[in-house]
Structure 1
Amino acid sequence: MIEIGKIGRISSGDDSGKFVKIQELHDDPPSFLILMAYDSEFKNGCGDYWVEDYDSLKGFFTESQWEIQWTEND
């Protein structure tokens, strides 16, 4: 499951070991910003990606083969 607004650690797939957070942008329809970092505070960033809609976000996750451990509270 893709969690919006929560921090997760990529446990397998491309970029394993890095942290990720998905932000929903207020477009119509919504687009998404995928933030990535080496730490869970996102102080040591390593990049970001933008996708145009939720279907593209799901495709991005599928292509990256990400398995993510999402945080409980954020």
Structure 2
Amino acid sequence: MEIKIGIKGKILSGEKEGDYVWIYNDEKNTGGYLIFTADNPEMNNAFDGWVEKFEYLPKYFAEAQWTVEWLEKFDLFNQ
């Protein structure tokens, strides 16, 4: 399973199918990774999840049963 940081993806299957996902490396502030999901490609009104380490991301994706098509570089904080 490929998981990309800073690249927006479309969730093709699993929970939130059809939504978009973007992962932010927030080690400097929270010590982990923020996982944002939204029902639109602009990521407006995004919900967020968090994992402590990069190694925990595959389990997070597996639990949600996500298959993701990675699309483009994106930065939710600098639009």
TM-score of the pair, normalised by structure 1: 0.85
Gaps of 5+ in 1: none
Q: List 4+ stretches of structure 1 deviating above 3 A.
A: none
Q: Which residue of 2 aligns with 1:41?
A: 42
SS across alignment from 1:43: coil
Distance in 2 between the 1:54 and 1:9 partners? 20
Distance in 2 between the 1:64 and 1:5 partners? 19
Q: Which residue of 2 aligns with 1:62?
A: 62
Gaps of 5+ in 2: 74-79
SS across alignment from 1:56: helix
Number of residue pairs aligned between Structure 1 and Structure 2: 71
- Give the alignment's Cα RMSD to 1 decimal: 1.6
User: How far does residue 2 in structure 1 lie from its aligned partner after superposition?
Assistant: 0.2
Give the % identical residues.
36
Distance in 2 between the 1:23 and 1:62 partners? 18
User: How far does residue 54 in structure 1 lie from its aligned partner after superposition?
Assistant: 1.3
